[in-house]
Amino acid sequence: METDTPLTGRIALVAGATRGAGRAIAVQLGAAGATVYATGRTTRGKRSEMGRPETIEETAELATEAGGHGIAVPTDHLEESQVRALVERIDREQGRLDILVNDIWGGDHLTEFGKETKMWDIELARGLRMLELGVKSHIITSSYALPLLVRHPGGLVVEVTDGTAEFNRAYRENFYFDLAKNAPIRMAFNLSHDLKAVDGTAVSVTPGFLRSEAMLDLFGVTEENWRDAIAEVPEFVIAESPVFVARAVAAIAADAERARWNGQSLSSGQLAKEYGFTDVDGSRPDAWGYFTDVVLGDKDAPAGDYR
């Protein structure tokens, strides 16, 4: 018998849940009944280097309002002592961890998108900071969280990144950004081998053209009138809300047969076709299908055909 809350009794940690995909994933896991620990650096009392106003307290409250139990825990995932304390708290309060979502990033302000920036033109400290935020933080979190996750069979690790393994064969922006966004794909593949022995699953998941809070601000639109940006950037027609990738992660988490995805690189558009969910407007945008077929391939088709 199906239930609207298939994750009742499950404990999730969404690392990097302050905004964007991480926030939406925490909320959708909550809507499915999970207890969700939402972590990040921006709280109501302190902002991270990103300078954005969204907070982990808001995320936890939204997860609870959705039907789950959201718990905000301020955590800098580059600080081992903080991550260790976080996992010890989850163990103390819940005695288990079923879902780990590594969505830690916070490096957009370090990347000059759309510019031909050579590796040697990027300040070393700036490039290494990008790798710390997008790679090292994931490794630290998994190192401390996985011993708790594997205590019970069936655990799930989701590495959130930007781009599929297929699309990311192409060069991504610059040396450091390319490494930061390809590493989670490989981390999920590597962890899939370790977790298989304990009936666990690891996957990497990417949203498409994400209408995050920062992206909406960049284009001067809101979630209500985002289509106004299409006049400036026609490809924005295939933009998706953070809810779309969040529903993808929740669907995997609720799938008793999710082991079939072990080690794979998956996209929100691909998973929408598999599980039958839609974005908030009822559409199923397939941004990476468009980028692969048209941008990298030789297919001549408007972006609107992929919505």
* ∠ CA 79-81-82, rounded to 5°: 70
Is the model's pLDDT at 114 over the cut of 70?
no
Mean pLDDT throughout 213-230?
93
pLDDT at 117: 86
Is the model's pLDDT at 295 over the cut of 80?
yes
Give 8-43 as a DSSP string.
TT-EEEEES-SSHHHHHHHHHHHHTT-EEEEEES-B
pLDDT at 116: 77
Which stretches of the chain are DSSP H helices? 20-31, 56-65, 80-94, 124-131, 137-149, 175-196, 213-219, 242-254, 268-275, 287-290
Is the model's pLDDT at 127 over the cut of 90?
yes
pLDDT at 302: 87
Mean pLDDT throughout 135-159?
98
Mean pLDDT throughout 200-204?
98
Q: What is the per-residue pLDDT across 10-51, written as a single tens digit (0 to 9) for each? A: 999 999 999 999 999 999 999 999 999 999 999 999 888 888
pLDDT at 107: 75
Ranges 104-118, 161-175, 180-194: which has the least confidence: 104-118
Mean pLDDT throughout 293-307?
87
Ranges 11-20, 68-77, 173-182, 297-306: which has the least confidence: 297-306
11-212+242-286 homologous superfamily: NAD(P)-binding Rossmann-like Domain (3.40.50.720)
pLDDT at 110: 75
Look up tokens 């590594």; give the residue: 102
**Banded pLDDT at 3 (limits 50, 70, 90):** low
Share of the chain above pLDDT 70, in %: 98
pLDDT at 1: 36
Mean pLDDT throughout 278-296?
92
Q: CA-CA distance, 170 to 137, in Å (whole number)?
A: 24
pLDDT at 84: 98
**Banded pLDDT at 304 (limits 50, 70, 90):** confident
Q: Which residues pair with 209 in a beta bridge?
A: 239
Among 305, 100, 111, 288, which Cα is nearest to 209's?
288
